[in-house]
Every structure is written in structure tokens, then in C-alpha cells.
Amino acid sequence: MSSAEGPVVFDPADFGAIPSSRSLRQWMRTTRRRHADRSFWQVFEDVYLVVFTLAMVGATGGNVVRQLNTSASQCSSFSCHELAAYLPWILVPLLVATTLRVLLSVGPVSASRAAGFWLLATPVNRTALLRPAYWLVMVSVAVTGAVTSFVAWALLGSQWQSIWEGSLLTAALLVCAACVTVWAQQTSLRIKWTLRVADLLLVAAAIPAVWLATRNGPSNNNTQLANVVISDADAQALLTSGTSRLLVVGLICLVVVLVLAVLTARTLSRLSRTTVIAGGELLAGLAGAASSLDISMLADVVSGRHWRTKGRAHSRRGRGSRGAAMVHRELVRILRWPRRLVIGFALLVVPYAVAGAGFDVLVPVAAGFAGFVAVRPLMDGLRSVCRSIGLARALGMDLRELRVIMAVVPGLFAALWSLLAFPAIGSGVATFAIAAGMLSGAVRQASARPPSYAGPLVASPMGAIPPGLFSQPIRGFDLLLVCLAPVLLGLSAMWVLLIPAFVLTVMFSVRPKTA
Amino acid sequence: MSKKAAARLVVQALQHKYGDRPVIEGLTFTLDAGQAIALVGPNGAGKTTVLKCIVGSADPAAGKILLDGLPIDERAEVVRRDVATLLDDLDFFPDLTAAEHLDLLARAHGNPAPEDLVDTTLDDIGLLSAADQLPGSLSSGQRRRLALATALVRPRKLMVLDEPEARLDTGGVAWLSNRLIEEKKSGTSILFASHDPALVEAVADSVVTLTPLP
């Protein structure tokens, strides 16, 4: 580190006008193109593959939705009628609350750490730098909202026009919610209040769900719904009064959304670099986890972000020694984030709602998956020791032993949850199978090894991948289904008890593989 | 009155808390143009937190921070132009070389032809041979030097540096010391946190000692 002529010290006057964001991006594009190691045709092939896949999935999905819409529109039972009447009141607040929470957790306007340092920390117009990310968020929210509500309304057997109107209105509502999150991102106080509103919306969504779960209506009333199946006949009339109304609704939504989005875009300069980068870091972590199809790692990223944000917690003394001390520590750790317990217990509404809607055959599956979602977040401790050989070694216990110890508190939660769901499930042995399934599935997913690229790899169109990569997303759910299988297949009570008991025994007897 | 007008950075009664626990309480100092202040103290005393409050990466619970008489706000263009920072928030674009990173930064600050400036700085900081390397292939020491270089290819009135001597060898620390003294001579104010007494002794005009709060 030396300079023969001595250091050159610069003066601000040596620097001219600040360049535009556009010219800077252009410079980066040109520079990057020089390092490009893939030809245009290689990129084209990848894009073609993605577009083709999306088209195939879209066509198949569209066809399935169309078929289900046909079936649902022919359902004349009281349960179907009730479900159609109440589901929008659950779905819309749930979608808005989810949009608020998800967007605020990633920004919503975000940038990578590198962009934060090399671009956002410079005097270049911040609004212009952030505008592409902002519009990407808005478009993504609009598309996601429209598709989700389109599918939901179609599955309820609604008319073609109702589906389109519902989708348009929901998409517009969600874009407005996205604008609110951008406004909230500007100060921590606004974020806090917006999250409270999201929580209130969740409560609002729970009210009709609870009502649906607890009401005592006739189970097979032949009330004919006034639904019309999506059919070609609907599309034949070009400008009926319904179509005109749809156009007007669409136009109004478009105007409102555009005005709000443009006004919000003007406030992007008020976003601090810290909040923008925080979201970018989270997204980078999530993208890394998603690329390895590792659901547990996705949960790790979100959980890690939560604890980093919290930063500080009141230390509590442990109790007992060895296993007892670890069980106590797990309890303390779980109680430290009570929201997860609240959400876990709130998920009890799912089996009751399904039972209340009259779909008795689906209750075990709904209860199993809801229970899995409820219990899995309580497994962070197990997750940490299974991912860190050093931590397991430091604790001085065998990993198998640790897995049993760390599953005690979640196991008790699973047992309590299942007992509370028992009235909806209606069978003691099925309740046991569901509890065993949700516990063994969650333990299996939490103690999964990350995919290793250090070992043998398998050639694929996406390049070399570790064997078992594609089984990652179903890890955990597979055991849940094995435990639920005897219930779903209507096997005798003995099998309904034996198979889940066997799964649990094997799960806790085998030593987990380390990374 | 004239002394107040010359103050580049004023920190008044700064307070910062993690939850309910204060980590900085009533910190006050003034940094004039062409002067350097060193923040020293043990780990956990709040040195980095003070620097983060000044560059807008952390929100103070109370107090004032003024740059050239105006409240400092990282979102203001003038602050982004005048304050060069070296904290723990540096990351790299994986597909841009060391030289291209500095080139980008200089351009973003309004230098339309920064090639000579970039080359001189890379030479100055001992990274000329690594100019064409991508960040993934740089050693941690080289990354640190590149981080230091970011403060040198852009305009600056105030440099905020967190342990700038970290990961530098003995020769590197000596170079850094001389470089910072030259910066002071040119009118740049420097606020830095350091654990190196020799660097503090050589560069700092005054020292603020922080102690961990109970």
C-alpha cells in the first residue's frame, strides 16, 4: 500500500453533475455484458422453457379449475350454499392481512446489500433507483391477488362474471394494501400500526370461520344455488349488461389503483437505505432456500430475521440438568415467541370449519395439515442442532437423544392440539393418528439435512443437482400422509393405531443424518 | 460563534437503546473541518452504534446529529454526497470486478470518466494487480482494502470509519495512518472507531472514550 507520488486527495468540486439512474443502469448492463458467459440463444432457451412450462401449468390448472367450477356449481346442498356465502368474508380479509404481513417482512421495496452500498448510498435519485423494484411488487401483488381470487371464486361455483369482478376487486384491493405497506415502510411506527391492522383483519377473517365451524345447520338441504357454470355461452355475448358492468368495474379499479400507485411511487425517496436492504437480505436468503427446495431453510430465514429484529430478550435461568434442562429451555424458547402458539391454536378452526361445512371425509386431512403447520414452527431448536454439528457436539449428547428431547414440548403441544380438535375429528384413534402424523412429519422436516453439493450429483436440465433434491419439499408431509393413510383408507382401528405408532417409534429410534 | 459555524459534525446528547436498555447515553461532541475524532472503548461500548446513528443505519432514541448545521438524514442527497462511510454493510455485485466497482461508485458520484482516478486509487491501496478480479476471488484482506478504496474515489467532507485498520497488515495500517492525515489536511473531517492505539495516536485530534453502560 504505497504511492510513489503520494496520495491523491479529491475535492467535491472535481465531480460534476450526478448521473441519472437510467444512465447508471445502462453502464452496468454494458459492463456486465462483457462478462456474460452465456450466449443469447442459451438465455433464449431458458426463457422459452420457463414460458412453455408456465403455459402448460396454466392450461392444466385452468382446465382443472373449470372442471371443479362445473362440479361446484351443481352442488345444491345447504353446506355448499353456506360455504359460498361465508368464504368471501374469510378469504378477502385473510388475503389483505397476508399481503400486509408478507410485504412488510420483505420491504416491500427492497434492494440487495450490494445495491444498497454501491447505488443507494450515492447521491443518485433514490426514487428512480427504487422505482423498478416498486412496480415489480405492485404487478406481482396484482397478479397474485387476481389469480388467487379467480381460483377461489371459481371453486365456489360462481358465475363467469362474478369470478372476473371478484378477481378485479380483490386485485385492486391488494394493490391498495401494497401501497399502504410502501407508505408504512417509511417509519417504524407506521410498520407497527400496519401490522396491528393486519392482525385485526386476521381476527375479522376468523369470525366467519368460527361461525361456520360451530353453526348447526341442516346437513343436506336441497337448496339450489343460483350459480351458472363457466361455459362458452357466457363468452359468446359480447356486450351484455353484465359485461358492461364488468368493464366499468375494471375501469374504476384501474383508475383508482393507478392513481394510488403513482402517488405512492413519488414517496420512494423517503425510504431509508436500512429498511430497503433488510428486505433484500431476506429475499436473498429465501431465494437461496427456495433454490434448494428446502422448506425448513425458508422457515429458518424468516425466523432468523425475526430474532435479529428483536435483538434482545430477557434472560431466564434454566432448571434441572441434561435432558430436563433442555426440555425446560425449549419451553422457554417456545414461549418467547407466543404469536406462533396463538396462530397454532387459531389453526384449530380449520378442522371445525371443514366439519361444519359438511365435508366430513376431509376433516382428518385438514386437521393433519393444519396441525403440521401449527407444530412445525415450534421445532426451531431441533432444527438448530440438526443443522449445526458443532452445536450438537457442544451440548454433549447424541443427536438421536437430542431429537427426542427437543420433540418433547412440541409433542405435548401436538397432543393438546389434537385433543382440542377431537370433537371435529370425532374418533379417538383417528385423533391419535393425526397427532402422530403431525409430530413425526414436523420432526422429520425439522431434522432434514440441507442438500449437499459436495457429494455425488445427478445431471439434469438445470445442471448437476444432488440426489434427493426434489424430494425435499415433501419431506415431513410424507410421514404425515403415511400416518393418515389408514384413516383415509378406512382401515380397522388396530391399523389406525399401529401404523402411526410404528412411524413414531422408528422416527425417534433412528439417528438423524448430519450435514 | 465562528467556531460553531466551522463545526462539520455536531452530536448533542445522543441516546440509543436496544429495547429498554440504553447503550449510549448523553453523548456530545463536535467535529470540525479537517479534524479527526477517534471513538475508543471495549467491545459492546457502543462505538459502532454511534457511527450507525450518524450514518442513519440506526435510529437514536434522543439527541441531535447535525452535519454542517443541518440535521443529518441519510435520505438527503447532500448527506449521501458528503459522507463517506466504511461500516460493516459492504457487499459486492458478484459479476463486477474490483475496478468496475470503484468505477461505478465514482460515476454515481458524478465523475463521468473515472478511469485514471480508479487506477490511481487501486495502485495507492495496493490492489492494482487485483483490479480484474471478481469479488468472490478476493481475499478478506483485499476486500477490506477495496472497502477502504470506496471512500477514496468519491467526494467527501466527512469520513465515518468503523475500525478501518481491521484485517490490514502492519504496512497497511501505516499507509492508512498517512492517508488519513492527508485527508485531514485537505479539509476532510474524520470520525473513526478503532482498537489500534498507534492509529488513534497518529490520526486523532481528540479521543472520545466510551464505556459499556450497566
Q: Identify all chain B residues contacting A274, using CB atoms and an 8 Å cutoff.
A: 56-58, 74
* Closest by Cα among A9, A107, A380, A270 to B190: A9
Extract the C-alpha cell encoding B84. 463517506
Extract the C-alpha cell encoding B115. 478511469
How far apart are the C-alpha atoms of B62 and B50, rounded to whole Å? 12
Across the interface, whether the CB atoms of B110 and A18 are under 8 A apart is answered yes
Residues 6+ apart with CB under 8 A from B212: B23, B41, B42, B44, B45, B46
Across the interface, whether the CB atoms of B80 and A123 are under 8 A apart is answered yes
How far apart are the C-alpha atoms of A512 and A402, rounded to whole Å? 10
Is B95 near chain A, with CB under 8 Å?
yes
How far apart are the C-alpha atoms of B76 and B79, rounded to whole Å? 5
Across the interface, whether the CB atoms of B80 and A1 are under 8 A apart is answered no
- Spatial contact of B98 and B117, defined as CB atoms under 8 Å apart: no
Q: Identify all chain B residues contacting A7, using CB atoms and an 8 Å cutoff.
A: 124, 178-179, 182
- Chain A neighbours among B 24-53 (CB < 8 Å)? none
CA distance A126 to chain B (A): 8
Residues listed for chain A:
515
CA distance A369 to chain B (A): 36
Q: Give me the pLDDT at residue A240, please.
A: 64
Burial class (CB in 10 A: 0-12, 13-18, 19+), B95: middle
Which residues are B83's β-sheet partners? Answer: B158
Q: Does position A220 have pLDDT exceeding 70, yes or no?
A: no
How far apart are the C-alpha atoms of B179 and B156, rounded to whole Å? 14
Is B112 near chain A, with CB under 8 Å?
yes
How far apart are the C-alpha atoms of A421 and A347, rounded to whole Å? 10
Q: Give me the pLDDT at residue A209, please.
A: 80
Helix pair A241-265, A160-184: axis angle to 10 deg = 10
Per-residue CA distances from A145 to A58, A177, A351, B47 (Å)? 16, 11, 25, 46
Residues listed for chain B:
214
Burial class (CB in 10 A: 0-12, 13-18, 19+), A437: buried
Cα dihedral A201, A418, A473, A479 in deg (nearest 10)? -170
Across the interface, whether the CB atoms of A312 and B19 are under 8 A apart is answered yes
Q: Identify all chain B residues contacting A114, using CB atoms and an 8 Å cutoff.
A: 91-93
Phi-psi region of B30 (alpha: psi -120 to 50; beta: other; left: phi over 0): beta
Q: Is the dihedral of CA B130, B136, B142, B145 positive or negative?
A: positive
Q: Does position A155 have pLDDT exceeding 60, yes or no?
A: yes
Nearest CA in chain A to B116: A8
**More confident site: A87 or A235:** A87
Q: Give me the pLDDT at residue A512, please.
A: 74
Query: Phi then psi for A7, rounded to 5 degrees?
Result: -65, 145
Longest pairwise C-alpha distance within chain B = 52
Q: Give me the pLDDT at residue A2, please.
A: 45
Across the interface, whether the CB atoms of B124 and A272 are under 8 A apart is answered no
Extract the C-alpha cell encoding A59. 392450461
Q: Identify all chain A residues contacting B182, using CB atoms and an 8 Å cutoff.
A: 6-7, 9
Q: What would the DSSP string read from start to end of B26-72?
A: EEEEEEETT-EEEEE-STTSSHHHHHHHHHTSS--SEEEEEETTEE-
Q: Give me the pLDDT at residue A372, please.
A: 95
Q: Is the dihedral of CA A28, A31, A33, A36 positive or negative?
A: negative
Amino acid letter at A346? A
Residue position matching grid coordinates 452535519: B67
Q: Does position A3 have pLDDT exceeding 60, yes or no?
A: no
Q: Does position A260 have pLDDT exceeding 60, yes or no?
A: yes
Which residues are A294's β-sheet partners? Answer: none
Segment A367-425, tens digit of pLDDT: 999 999 999 999 888 888 887 777 777 877 888 888 899 999 999 999 999 999 998 88
Q: Give me the pLDDT at residue A221, please.
A: 47
Is B175 near chain A, with CB under 8 Å?
yes
- Angle, CA of A152, A157 and A160, to the nearest 5°: 85
Q: Give me the pLDDT at residue A461, please.
A: 61
pLDDT average, residue stretch A64-73? 80
Identify the DSSP state of B158: E
pLDDT average, residue stretch B62-76? 91
Q: Give me the pLDDT at residue A234, please.
A: 47
**More confident site: A440 or A38:** A440
Nearest CA in chain B to A270: B75
**More confident site: A218 or A152:** A152
Segment B163-204, tens digit of pLDDT: 999 888 888 899 899 999 999 999 999 999 999 999 999 999
- Spatial contact of B71 and B32, defined as CB atoms under 8 Å apart: no
Q: Give me the pLDDT at residue A76, please.
A: 72
Confidence of residue B2 (pLDDT cuts 50, 70, 90): very low
- Spatial contact of B11 and B54, defined as CB atoms under 8 Å apart: yes
Q: Give me the pLDDT at residue A157, please.
A: 77
Nearest CA in chain A to B174: A1
H-type helices in chain B, by residue range? 2-6, 47-55, 77-82, 98-108, 115-124, 140-150, 170-185, 197-203
Q: Give me the pLDDT at residue A398, please.
A: 82
* Residue of B100, B108, B134 with shortest CB distance to A124: B108
Across the interface, whether the CB atoms of A118 and B18 are under 8 A apart is answered no
Q: Does position A322 have pLDDT exceeding 70, yes or no?
A: yes
Cα dihedral A134, A140, A143, A147 in deg (nearest 10)? -150
Confidence of residue A355 (pLDDT cuts 50, 70, 90): confident
Extract the C-alpha cell encoding A44. 433464449
Cα radius of gyration (chain A): 27
Q: Give me the pLDDT at residue A223, please.
A: 46
pLDDT average, residue stretch B68-84? 89
Q: Give me the pLDDT at residue A191, please.
A: 92
Q: Which of A11-20, A155-164, A200-209, A334-343 has the lowest mean pLDDT?
A: A11-20
Q: What is the 3-state secondary structure (H, E, C) of A348-402?
A: CHHHHHHHHCCCHHHHHHHHHHHHHHHHHHHHHHHHHHHHCHHHHHHHCCCHHHH
Identify the DSSP state of B129: G
- Spatial contact of A399 and A392, defined as CB atoms under 8 Å apart: yes
Q: Does position B3 have pLDDT exceeding 50, yes or no?
A: no
* Closest by Cα among A272, A7, A271, A273 to A118: A273
* Residue of A18, A117, A271 with shortest CB distance to B91: A117
Strand B7-18 versus strand B62-67 pairing type: antiparallel
- Spatial contact of B51 and B108, defined as CB atoms under 8 Å apart: no
Residue position matching grid coordinates 447508471: A24
- The B21-32 sheet, strands edge to edge: B21-32, B7-18, B62-67, B70-71
Across the interface, whether the CB atoms of A188 and B188 are under 8 A apart is answered no
Candidate ranges A347-361, A392-406, A439-453, B181-195; pick with highest mean pLDDT: B181-195
CA distance B43 to chain A (A): 17
Across the interface, whether the CB atoms of B81 and A27 are under 8 A apart is answered no
Residue B42, preceding peptide bond in cis (omega within 30° of 0): no
Segment A8-44, tens digit of pLDDT: 556 566 677 888 888 888 888 888 888 777 777 888 8
Chain centre distance of CA B174: 17
Strand B36-40 versus strand B189-193 pairing type: parallel
Interface test with A, best of B16, B53, B104 (most A CBs within 10 A): B104
Share the mean pLDDT of chain A. Answer: 83
How far apart are the C-alpha atoms of A109 and A261, rounded to whole Å? 13
